[in-house]
Amino acid sequence: MRTQVAIVGAGPAGLLLSHLLARAGIESVVLEARSRAYVEQRVRAGVLEHPTVELLREVGLAERLDREGMPHEGISLRFEGGDHRIDFAGLVGKGITVYGQQEVVKDLIAARLADGGDIRFEVSGVVVEGIEGDAPVIGFVDGDGQRQELRCDVVAGCDGFHGICRGAFTPQVFDREYPYAWLGILAKAAPTHHELVYASHANGFALYSMRSPEITRLYLQVPPETDAGAWSDAQIWDELGTRLTAEGFTLNEGPLIEKGVTGMRSFVAEPMRHGRLFLAGDAAHIVPPTGAKGMNLAIADVRVLAEALTDLLVHGDERGVDRYSDTCLRRVWRAEHFSWWMTSMLHVAPHGDPFDRRLQLSQLRYTVASRAAATSLAENYVGLPHAALDGGLRT
């Protein structure tokens, strides 16, 4: 087989890249290890930044998002028993939209297949070769068990943190694991609060969010070694009630649809390019979920990559691909810092150092009392404009 761009991974990054390339007249093949049903159902992030929503609208992928997404104009920081709203709309004139990552994936798959896009699900044994030259080759076993060979001009590694593409070269790695994790639940219970609540409590952090008018998504800070099965439903609801308590706030309880523990880490691989291989999304970087940046960073990566590959493959201009890694890493490190800052401010240290706790409370009080501090939080949370950190891709 032959294509221009071989894309490994059918998550938001890989699928959106395929869509953007198709709009520029560039062919691609997407290879995915899981089944279509699996990738369309796995629950991941749910917060879309303002620039992400604008991009999806611009490229014709926001019809269902605009109909079913839940726009939010702020969040609440809850501590010392009080609720303090950060008014995104009032501070920076923008907001976010709650719309599950799996819904974005469904929209992207439907759009690619409707346009005749080539997505190969349930492939295995992927091997990437020849990336130092101008004719890479990907070997894989297709869903029927047949060994295949895909020749291409460029490989895009959008296959996540545990994928194979990053292992095709040896980037420098920056890594930090946090001493806590999130016990997350998806509950069939109508939300009682119209925006996300970030709660800092002496028992640990808690997050109140939602996925739809009927489904809530909630998290508790727990030790990394926690077994989700060791927590009964009653224990989870009781602890959520304790950490989220505030005057006038009620917590709807309901049957749990999903329960699991997610570790927290920061990770960056530099550079994000080696020869004709380009990493994007979780294959290149991971952020703790506190800042709601993971999927948004992946989408920002492929926006830059699609433009750079269009210049390369259509116009023979290599300047964009030469700057791809540096351009993306400016945004990545800004998001890494913001996510680390939010995580550090809201999570209780495992050994409960009273000095650290007082520093956290001081930072929280300052953030909600200072317009400048609240504006900085709002600006970063809703997403910095793409041009603000790109440095002018075509200059």
Asked if 72 is an active-site residue, the reply is yes
Asked if 198 is an active-site residue, the reply is yes
Q: Single out the catalytic residue among 198, 208, 219, 324.
A: 198
Is residue 233 within 8 A of residue 188, CB to CB? The reply is: no
Q: Single out the catalytic residue among 19, 84, 289, 347.
A: 289
Q: Report the chain's terminal Cα–Cα distance, integer Å.
A: 36
CA quadruple 260, 261, 266, 269: dihedral sign: negative
Asked if 293 is an active-site residue, the reply is yes
Is residue 7 within 8 A of residue 153, CB to CB? The reply is: no
Distance CA 208, CA 224 (A): 20
Residues facing residue 156 across a β-bridge: 7, 278
Asked if 106 is an active-site residue, the reply is no
Count CA atoms within 13 Å of residue 281 on its CB side: 26
Which residue is it, tokens 């990552």?
101
Asked if 188 is an active-site residue, the reply is no
Q: Single out the catalytic residue among 19, 84, 94, 293.
A: 293
Sheet with 215-222: list strands edge to edge: 82-87, 74-79, 196-201, 204-212, 215-222, 172-187, 256-270, 285-286
Tokens of 382: 């809703």
Tokens of 284: 């290149």
Q: Single out the catalytic residue among 50, 72, 193, 285.
A: 72
CB proximity list for 45: less than 8 A, separation 6 or greater: 100, 101, 289, 292, 294, 295
Distance CA 44, CA 379 (A): 23
Q: What is the Cα 7 distance to its own chain's centre?
A: 18
* 144: amino acid identity, one letter: D
Give the total residue count for the chain.
395
**In what helix (H) or strand (E) does residue 104 lie, and over which residues does it extend?**
helix 101-114
Distance CA 57, CA 51 (A): 10
Q: Single out the catalytic residue among 50, 84, 381, 386.
A: 381
Tokens of 189: 């219970």
Number of Cβ atoms within 10 Å of the Cβ of 245: 14
Backbone φ and ψ for 254, nearest 5 degrees, come out as -165, 175
Nearest to 256 by CA among 207, 195, 199, 188: 188
Residues identified as active-site: 72, 198, 289, 293, 381
